[in-house]
Every structure is written in structure tokens, then in C-alpha cells.
């Protein structure tokens, strides 16, 4: 009878150890839940980004004005017959003026 009690206490201690410290413990489970929430937030943001990209792709496939708009914005393209003016702000950092070269 005494050996059975010792065996049961050792078994209980082993289960308690695993509950508080080992893999699958409460702390481990809390960490996994935190990681899961972070991943869900990231996945949600990526789904939104993918939806925007899919909308842009569909628009580019069907709408010539969207292609022109994209070319103007991303590539700086100019239509034939248009005049392009580049205005440089002297006070803007990174802009070069003749005074700063001397």
C-alpha cells in the first residue's frame, strides 16, 4: 500500500512539473497564443495588401486610363505634346543650388 502511494505521488509530481514547466505548459501555451495573435494580425494586413494589388491588377487589365495613370505616377511618362516643368524648392533639403556649390 505504501509503494502505491509513493508511485502515485511521483506520478502526480511528474504531471505537475509538465503542467508548469515542460512543453505544453501553461506558460508555453500562453506564448503560443501570443504568437498566434501576432501572426493573425500580420496575415490580416497581408490579405488587405493583396486585395489592393488584385484590384490594381484587374484595373490595369481592363482600363487603359489606369495604365496611363500608373505610367505617369511610377515612370514619370509624359504625353506627346505636353510640356514638363520641374520646380525645385531651394529651401528643401537635398536640393542643390549654385550658391551651395561655391
What pTM did the predictor assign? 0.52
Q: Which residues contact 70 (CB under 8 A, 6 or more apart)?
A: 56, 60
pLDDT tens, residue by residue, 20-70: 777 778 888 899 999 999 999 999 999 999 999 999 899 888 888 888 888
Q: How far apart are CA 53 and CA 2, in angstroms?
A: 71
Amino acid at each position: 500500500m505504501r509503494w502505491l502511494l509513493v508511485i502515485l505521488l511521483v506520478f502526480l509530481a511528474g504531471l505537475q512539473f509538465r503542467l508548469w514547466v515542460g512543453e505544453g505548459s501553461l506558460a508555453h501555451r500562453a506564448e503560443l497564443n501570443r504568437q498566434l495573435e501576432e501572426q493573425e494580425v500580420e496575415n490580416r494586413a497581408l490579405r488587405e495588401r493583396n486585395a489592393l494589388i488584385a484590384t490594381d491588377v484587374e484595373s490595369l487589365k481592363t482600363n487603359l486610363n489606369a495604365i496611363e495613370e500608373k505610367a505617369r505616377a511610377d515612370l514619370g511618362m509624359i504625353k506627346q505634346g505636353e510640356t514638363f516643368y520641374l520646380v525645385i524648392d531651394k529651401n528643401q533639403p537635398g536640393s542643390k543650388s549654385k550658391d551651395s556649390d561655391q
